[in-house]
Amino acid sequence: MKLRGAHALLFATLVFGASAVAAGQRAVGPGSPIYGVKLPDGYRDWKLISVAQENGKNNDIRAILGNPAAVEAFRKGTRPFPDGAVIVRLAWRYQSSPRNDAVFPAPQSFVAGAPTNVQVSVKDSKRYAASGGWGYGQFEAGLPNPDPAIARACFTCHQKLGKLEGGADFVFTAWSE
């Protein structure tokens, strides 16, 4: 089994290796539909880019983290993002905190509840040329959502930002100092 696993890994490395390395993808495991984006190893330890909060159907509070290539591009304002940049958006239920509100002067405190999903954007201008240079994946409990419609919807939405509108390169998040 170990040898077979090693052979499979070798095969995967030979076939997908160059592109995967270029995109900073060291994770193993299943990838997202369409893009084959994987959950990057150690992404939870990456540096913070910014935070946001979504009402409506999402009803979440979120943190956007980046690998070193992404963080450097944000800090220097480099656009388009270089190949290898990876942005990870973590989200949790947006929920009132009665514990905090008991201490604060008024009911006003909202915190992160249970995790909802993690969305990953990987910049690889060649591999993902058809989607503006970005590959996308949504992960729940560490596994990619297998619905191709979910993966497809990422670019449908990011595309509306335009390639270079405000230097966006299809990215919603701006750096927060």
**Interface with a copy of itself by CB under 8 A: which residues?**
44-45, 47-48, 50-58, 61-63, 65, 90, 92, 94, 97, 99-100, 102-106, 108-112, 115, 157, 160-161, 166, 172-174, 176-177
Q: 71 vs 151, which CB is nearer to a copy of itself? A: 71
Q: 78 vs 97, which CB is nearer to a copy of itself? A: 97
User: In which residue are the tokens 């009665």 written?
Assistant: 98
- Around Cβ 166, how many Cβ atoms within 10 Å? 10
To a copy of itself, the closest distance from the beta carbon of 34 in angstroms equals: 20
Q: Per DSSP, what are the bridge partners of residue 94?
A: 112
Q: 22 vs 52, which CB is nearer to a copy of itself? A: 52
To a copy of itself, the closest distance from the beta carbon of 8 in angstroms equals: 29
- What whole-number distance in Å separates Cα of residue 29 and Cα of residue 37? 10
To a copy of itself, the closest distance from the beta carbon of 45 in angstroms equals: 5
Q: 2 vs 142, which CB is nearer to a copy of itself? A: 142
To a copy of itself, the closest distance from the beta carbon of 113 in angstroms equals: 9
Q: 13 vs 176, which CB is nearer to a copy of itself? A: 176
Q: Per DSSP, what are the bridge partners of residue 137?
A: 120
- What whole-number distance in Å separates Cα of residue 79 and Cα of residue 124? 13
H or E element at residue 64: strand 60-66
38 Cβ contact partners less than 8 Å away, ≥ 6 residues apart: 25, 27, 28, 29, 30, 31, 32, 120, 137, 144
The conformation of residue 83, written as its DSSP 8-state character, comes to: T
Which amino acid type is present at position 148?
Answer: P
To a copy of itself, the closest distance from the beta carbon of 121 in angstroms equals: 15
